[in-house]
Amino acid sequence: MIERKLRVGILFGGRSGEHEISLLSARSIVDALDRNRYEPVLIGIDPAGRWHLNDAAHALLAPPGAPLHLDATAPSVAVSPGDASTALTTASAAPAVGTLDVVFPVLHGTYGEDGTVQGLLEMADVPYVGSGVLGSSAGMDKDVAKRLLRSAGLPVVDWFVVRSHENRSSEDVAREVEKRFGWPVFVKPANMGSSVGVSKARRREELAAALANAFKYDTKLLIERGHAVRELECGVLGNDAPLASVVGEIVPTHEFYSYTAKYLDENGAHPRIPAAIREEQSEAIRRMSEEAFAALELSGLARVDFFLDKSDGALYLNEVNTLPGFTSISMYPKLWEATGVPYATLIERLIALALERAATRRALSTSFAP
C-alpha cells in the first residue's frame, strides 16, 4: 500500500518589513521537502495582506535558492473555520486548495510571527509548525518577553519603554537615559524582527533620529542599555521536552548586527559554529535557551539570542525568535546541522512536532457537560 503524501501548506510573504526574507526562507524549505512524502501547496500573502494560491509546479521549476515569486494575480484564498477536515478555498472559479495536513508558516515579523496567523489556523483546526498564539505573541513583543524572562530568573539587558501616544520629546527621553544608564543605547521597535528599525544612539544628539526611525514600525519602543558584546545564538527544537543545539556566534563586520549586515552586505557578518567560548558558558546558554522556551510557552522551534559582555563576561538573553530565518544558510538550520540534524531532517521533525501538538490539542474537550 502506497502511503499518502502529506499536503504541506507553505505560507510565505506577509504584511511585514521582513516580507522579502520570507520569500528566501520559503524557497529553501520547498527545495528541501521530500517529494515522495510531501506535496507542497504554496500560499503567498502579498504586502496588502491578500492570500494567493501560487502555482507550485511553476515554482519548482525555478533554480534552487531563487526567492519564491509571489504571484499577486493568482487566485485569492479564503480560510473557512471548521473541524479537522477544513479546506482552504479559492475566492474565484479556480479549483479549491483542498484539505491541508499541516501548514508551515514561513512568515517573519508582524502578521505572521506574532500569533495572528496562528489564531486563524487554530480557528480552522489546521496543524501548523511553531508556537501557538500565546507563545508567538509573547515572543514577538520584546518588552513582554523581557518581563516574562526576567520573572523566570533569566538575565536580560536593562531597558525601558517609550510609547507614541505619550508624545515625549527626545530631550525628555534622553534625560531618562542619562538617569537610568547613560550612553550608548539601542532603540528598537517592540514588535519587529531582523533588526528592522533598530538604531544605536551613542549620544543625546543621535536619539531623535533613532526614535523617529523606530516609530515608523511600531507604537511601542524599547530603549536598551548599550553593551560592547559578542552575539551568540542557540536553537531549540521540540514541544514538551525541547532540546538545545550547539551554540554559534555571529561576528558582524558592521558596528552591530543590523538589517544591512544581515541581508544586504554579503560580508556583513560571519557565523562561527561552534562559538569559541568556554564549555561552561556554552552549557549555561543551552540551559537558559531551554528555560526561555518554557517561560514563553513555546513549541516547535525557536532561536534564542544572547549577548556576552566583552568587558566582564556577563551573559544576557537578548531575545527569542519563534520563526527564525530558514534559508539553508540561516543560523537556526546551521546550528542544528552542526548538532547532527541535517536541513531536510529538521523540516521533517518540525512537521512531526506540529502534527503531535495538534493531536494533543484535539484530544481536549471543547464542551462542558456538568
pLDDT tens digit string along 70-105? 888 888 887 766 655 555 665 555 556 678 899 999
The CATH number of 139-155+228-359 is: 3.30.470.20
pLDDT at 294: 98
Class of the CATH-defined domain 6-128: alpha beta
Q: Please give the average per-residue pLDDT across 247-271, as a whole number.
A: 66
Q: What percent of the chain has pLDDT over 70?
A: 88
Q: Please give the average per-residue pLDDT across 275-299, as a whole number.
A: 98
Domain positions in the chain are: 6-128, 139-155+228-359, 159-225
pLDDT at 226: 95
- Who's near 195: CB < 8 A, 6+ residues apart? 256, 257, 258, 259, 261, 262
At 264, the pLDDT band (50, 70, 90 cuts) reads very low
At 66, the pLDDT band (50, 70, 90 cuts) reads confident
* Identical fold between 139-155+228-359 and 159-225: no
pLDDT at 260: 47
CA geometry: angle at 146 spanning 143 and 148, to 5°? 110
Query: Which position has the higher pLDDT, 43 or 57?
Result: 43
Lowest pLDDT segment from 113-117, 244-248, 267-271? 267-271
pLDDT at residue 124 greater than cutoff 80: yes
Cell numbers for 125: 483546526
Query: Which position has the higher pLDDT, 63 or 163?
Result: 163
pLDDT at 271: 92
H/E segment holding residue 103: strand 102-106
List, in sequence order, the alpha helices (H) in the chain: 19-32, 56-60, 116-124, 133-140, 142-151, 170-180, 207-215, 259, 279-295, 331-339, 343-362
Q: Please give the average per-residue pLDDT across 24-53, as a whole number.
A: 91
pLDDT at residue 114 greater than cutoff 90: yes
Q: Please give the average per-residue pLDDT across 129-137, as a whole number.
A: 97
pLDDT at residue 46 greater than cutoff 80: yes
For 4, other C-beta atoms within 10 Å of its C-beta total: 9
Among 41-50, 81-90, 123-132, 167-176, top mean pLDDT goes to 167-176
pLDDT at 261: 46
pLDDT at residue 216 greater than cutoff 80: yes
Given 3.40.50.1820, 3.30.1490.20, 3.30.559.10, 3.40.190.10, which CATH number is that of 159-225? 3.30.1490.20
pLDDT at 263: 47
Cα–Cα distance measured from residue 80 to residue 120, given in angstroms and rounded to the nearest whole number: 9
DSSP string, 205-216: GGHHHHHHHHHT
Q: Please give the average per-residue pLDDT across 185-197, as a whole number.
A: 85
- Tell me how far the alpha carbon of residue 30 is from its chain's centroid: 18
Averaged confidence pLDDT in the chain: 89
pLDDT at 254: 56
Residue position matching grid coordinates 521536552: 241
pLDDT at residue 234 greater than cutoff 70: yes
